[in-house]
Amino acid sequence: MPKAVRKLSIKPVVSAKLSETIQQFISFKEAQGMSERTLSDYTNNLSKFLLSSEQDSMEMDSLEATLLSYLKQYKDKSPVTYNLRYKNLHCFLAWTVERDILKANPLKRLGLKARKEEGKIRHHEPDTIQKLLKVIDTATYTGLRDYSLILLTLDTGIRPSEAFGLKIDDFDSAYKKIQVRSEVAKTRTTRELPLSTPVVELIKKLISVRFEQFGDLLFISCDGFPLNRNSWNRRLTNYCKEAGCPQVAPYDLRHTFAIMFLRNGGNVFALQKIMGHADLEMTKRYVVLSESDIEKQHTAASPVNNFIKRSSRVKRLLK
């Protein structure tokens, strides 16, 4: 009599939990050395995404339903607000595909894409910057610090968060440069920024009037605390109100540097390196904006103006 075949007990595969997968992703980003700001964005946005999910599951149907529900909340928000959530989710879901947790990115399956961010780049003309600088009292420590920070940004296009993380040792007055260390750079890549002589002199003066107990950070409050985006934005707002000029935000100074750099004949590849862009895509947006005033510049700078300066002469020529 043949022996009875013993049936093997096959346990069903248990799908990964969304909450656990998100935590693994955040840990991965921490190990990569992402900045605190970037980690905070990922954590906040993915936590809200998790809360909007009815099931703690990585099943495709569940994820697609949650994505539609979650992103629908931001349909009336600005492209910048919407795209931050979208990009955080896209990065997370692409990571799960790379690790075979998902077979495909549900965002792509749904056909959801980032929105066009028209008008995101906001820069200012020289007269606005001149009005702003004019009201700053450089006879005080905070005034000298703010004046130096504005001109440093206009000279290098450094990001506000990168400037707040600069240390005195990052400044090299002899070679007229300042180093953005990898740990404070947004792209986590060290870069050196050339400085103009007036900016070098300002920073030297700022260092000379600092209190020793301020520590090694270059830009510090009069109470010894590091500057941050909110406090810096408030100070710029107050200066603009006093000057009676349009509001200048911290990032506007970076954009203004880029536009004026190109207007003055700067090379687009040099601009990419100075600003710390990972590729040319962002840099090209400044190129488009700088080219938008070609017509105005041509009207003012055309050599024809040296030969025919009055409209009456043009009329005589056309008769």
Residue 179's SS3 state is strand
pLDDT of residue 1: 46
pLDDT of residue 267: 85
Whether the CB-CB separation of 138 and 147 falls below 8 Å is answered with yes
pLDDT of residue 13: 36
Tokens of 135: 């009201």
Strand ordering across the sheet containing 171-172: 171-172, 177-180, 191-194
Going by C-alpha positions, the residue among 123, 121, 118 that lies closest to residue 253 is 123
pLDDT of residue 250: 93
Whether the CB-CB separation of 129 and 154 falls below 8 Å is answered with yes
Share of the chain above pLDDT 90, in %: 48
What sign does the dihedral 254-121-261-87 (CA atoms) show? positive
Cα separation, 255 vs 120, in Å, equals 10
pTM of the model: 0.63
Residue where the block lists tokens 């007229």:
176
Residue 168 CB-density burial (10 A; 0-12 exposed, 13-18 middle, 19+ buried): middle
117 Cβ neighbours under 8 A, 6+ residues apart: 79, 80, 83
Q: Which residues of the chain have pLDDT under 70?
A: 1-15, 117-120, 288-302, 304-319
